[in-house]
Amino acid sequence: MRRIKNALLVLFTLLLVAAGAAMPAAVSYIQDSYGSILEESRSFDSFSLTLREEADLGRTLKLVAESEYYVAEVQASEDASLSEGQALDAAHEVLTELAQHGLLDQLPQELSTPDVWPQTLISMDGTDEIPMWSISWHNRPEYIWLDDAAGKAVMISVGCPSYSAKYVFNVDSEPIFAQAENWRQFLADYYGTEVQISGEEWFDTSVCFLLTFPLGGAEDQEPSIFQLGLDIYFADGFATLTPYVSPVDFPPNQSTYSYDS
């Protein structure tokens, strides 16, 4: 019996020694694996950052504003930079930033799973094709039209507080101006550029604000100036940010817009 105990003790000691010898290799493997995961994450982050910095978002805005295009509903283009999952992530980023600026009446995680459709924006002369993504939520006003290369939305629709025309015109329109200012700040943060409200036009149940901003331009060139139309439908309770406004020639008319470089 004593021999068996001694043998088991020796075997247990050998196992401890072996485990101790293998521990550095195991730790090294875990560290290498974790480092590989981090490297993949960094690679994706760098890839996304490159897309956003180098993509010409102005190209899309200009084509849409000029209305010289049509949309092809297709499978994801071979030239697309984003997968469907990445497009969803980009759309979620839009909703998150809108919520942070007080422009979303429902938290992003509370919305249902959206429908995602790849599209291609094609110029009428066929010389320009731009991969896009269309993201919409069933029975909700939320809609995002996403530029694939830039990973940025060029058209956004969301629900917003509703007000009667009588309230707006006869009592207090400050809530509408506050919404417009929140949209201006959102777009400035989201596009990473200076944005100004350069005009407004009131209707019976809605108002349209012009949001003007510079984009692009190499170090030795002036940036191009673009406008998005912000339509707040205060009677129906939704707002849309659209590029269906002609680009502004640079330098802009100082009576409507001021840009300090």
What are the DSSP calls for 240-253, one per residue?
EEE--SPPBPSSPP
Same domain membership, residue 238 and residue 172: yes
Same domain membership, residue 80 and residue 47: no
Cβ-based neighbour number of residue 145 at 10 Å: 23
Q: Is the pLDDT of residue 171 over 70?
A: no
Same domain membership, residue 76 and residue 10: no
Chain centre to alpha carbon of residue 48: 11
259 occurs within a structural domain: no
Same domain membership, residue 165 and residue 124: yes
123 occurs within a structural domain: yes
Q: Is the pLDDT of residue 192 over 70?
A: yes
Q: At 253, list the tokens.
A: 């008319």
Q: Is the pLDDT of residue 179 over 50?
A: yes
More confident residue, 21 or 231: 231
Cβ-based neighbour number of residue 139 at 10 Å: 5
Q: What residue numbers bound the domain in which 109 lies?
A: 56-242
247 occurs within a structural domain: no
**β-strand partners of 157:** 143, 240
Which pLDDT score is estimated for 66?
87
**With pLDDT > 70 as the criterion, what percentage of the chain qualifies?**
67
pLDDT digits (tens, 9 = 90+) for 205-255: 899 999 999 987 656 568 889 999 999 998 888 999 999 987 664 334 433
Same domain membership, residue 189 and residue 68: yes
Question: Is the backbone peptide bond immediately before 251 cis, with ω within 30 degrees of 0?
Answer: yes
Distance CA 212, CA 231 (A): 14
258 occurs within a structural domain: no
More confident residue, 1 or 83: 83
Residues 6+ apart with CB under 8 A from 92: 108
Same domain membership, residue 111 and residue 82: yes
Q: Is residue 240 packed enough to be buried (19+ CB in 10 Å), middle (13-18) or exposed (0-12)?
A: buried
Which pLDDT score is estimated for 55?
62
Q: What angle do CA 160, 165, 170 make, to 5 degrees?
A: 120
Q: What is the pTM of this model?
A: 0.72
68 occurs within a structural domain: yes
Sign of the torsion formed by the C-alpha atoms of 231, 141, 75 and 216: positive
Same domain membership, residue 210 and residue 134: yes
Same domain membership, residue 213 and residue 84: yes
Residue among 163, 129, 157, 181 at smallest CA distance from 243: 157
Same domain membership, residue 20 and residue 75: no
